[in-house]
Amino acid sequence: MVHGYERAYRMAGRGPVLLFLHGIGDDSSTWLELLESLADDFTVIAPDLLGHGASAKPRADYSVAAYACGMRDLLTTLDVDRVTVVGHSLGGGVAMQFAYQFPERCERLVLVGSGGVGASVHPLLRLAAAPGAGLLLPLLGAQPALPVLRKLAESLRISDDLDYVVARYLRLVEPGTRSAFLRTLRSVVDWRGQVVNMLDRCYLTQGIPTLLVWGTEDRVVPSGHALRAHRAMPGSRLVLFEGAGHFPHRSAPKQFLEVLLEFLAETPPAEYDRARWGELLRAGRPAEQPPASAEIPDAPTVSSGT
């Protein structure tokens, strides 16, 4: 319970703390296979974000800033001070916001198909954010509409997790879940695309070890966003999962685990320096980098097996 709202979370293991944040419409079970593998050497925490999974779904603030504050407060109730934050999709945007608002509590950043690093997003999400979309969403949950829903999922290149994604979409039939989904979506997306863009603050991550993981076939948040984020985040690592869509941590969990463990082993946790943070803020955002090309030659590519 945080601020009077039920907050569901999974927690296991002992050691350095890893905080896993899921995407919109999803829940903490997206990380389940990874959590089981990591719990021998790390403390793993995977919450259901407010409005998702088994957490409360109130009429409330579902912005990334509110989510970041919610994660700080949850960690405080668990007596956890500093974490490596792993965020997927919307959870990646929350992870970046967490690092921006609470740099003293962030040891590393791992962004997986993350939102918040560009405007483009799949047209279906833009449509879902439009006025009146809340009236149509329940209709797609009806049995006759399921073939249509499956076709839409295939267009997002998430067919490797098709049953998983469809099951989560069907939750939107429930009014409370649907309302929370729409409030969350409309806080980050409108008819023109993503409205929350962290690129103007990415230079502040230069003291925080950062790993970017993207599927080359991601059509929800296109892989071009990974290239822009890589250039905007000094010292970041970029790993592309060949053939994977928006869920590389699910379509290739063993490979994802290897990449994550290597990153954790090779990077020391960030040490917050208030004076240095002030210098960065006073210096401001560096001159804009050239547009990202279609490829980055030194970005490692991992076969996802899809």
Q: Which residues are known to be catalytic?
A: 89, 218, 246
Considering the domain boundaries, does residue 171 fall inside one?
yes
Q: What is the pLDDT of residue 294?
A: 46
Residues 151, 108, single domain; the answer is no
Residues 142, 155, single domain; the answer is yes
What confidence tens digit (pLDDT) does each residue in 35-85 have?
Answer: 999 999 999 999 999 999 999 999 999 999 999 999 999 999 999 999 999
Q: What is the pLDDT of residue 106?
A: 98
- Domain stop point among 190, 217, 238: 190
pLDDT of 132 strictly over 80: no
Sorted by sequence, the CB contacts under 8 Å of residue 20 that are 6+ apart come out as 28, 31, 34, 35, 44, 45, 46, 86, 87, 91
What confidence tens digit (pLDDT) does each residue in 166-202 have?
Answer: 777 778 778 888 888 888 888 887 777 777 778 888 8
Higher pLDDT, 143 or 120: 120
Considering the domain boundaries, does residue 66 fall inside one?
yes
Number of domains in the chain: 2
How would residue 162 be classed by pLDDT, with cut points 50, 70 and 90?
low
How would residue 293 be classed by pLDDT, with cut points 50, 70 and 90?
very low
Q: Shortest CA distance to 223 belongs to which of 71, 74, 112, 63?
A: 112
Residues 205, 295, single domain; the answer is yes
Considering the domain boundaries, does residue 23 fall inside one?
yes
Residues 32, 144, single domain; the answer is no
What's the rounded mean pLDDT across residues 233-255? Answer: 93
Considering the domain boundaries, does residue 1 fall inside one?
no
Owning domain of residue 156: 123-190
Residues 186, 215, single domain; the answer is no
Listed range (90-99, 143-152, 175-184) with the worst mean pLDDT: 143-152
Residues 295, 203, single domain; the answer is yes
How would residue 239 be classed by pLDDT, with cut points 50, 70 and 90?
very high
Higher pLDDT, 305 or 234: 234
Considering the domain boundaries, does residue 4 fall inside one?
no
Answer yes or no: are the C-beta atoms of 68 and 97 closer than 8 Å: yes
Residues 128, 257, single domain; the answer is no
What's the rounded mean pLDDT across residues 212-222? Answer: 90
What's the rounded mean pLDDT across residues 266-285? Answer: 92
CA distance 245 to 23: 14
pLDDT of 277 strictly over 50: yes
Residues 251, 211, single domain; the answer is yes
Q: What is the pLDDT of residue 302?
A: 79
Average per-residue pLDDT in the chain? 85
Q: What is the three-class DSSP state of 21?
A: strand
Residues 70, 161, single domain; the answer is no
Considering the domain boundaries, does residue 2 fall inside one?
no
Cα-atom radius of gyration of the chain, to the nearest Å? 18
Residues 281, 297, single domain; the answer is yes
Q: What is the pLDDT of residue 292?
A: 45
Residues 64, 131, single domain; the answer is no
Considering the domain boundaries, does residue 3 fall inside one?
no
Residues 133, 240, single domain; the answer is no
- Domain stop point among 150, 170, 190: 190
The CATH number of the domain holding residue 204 is 3.40.50.1820
- Domain stop point among 170, 190, 210: 190
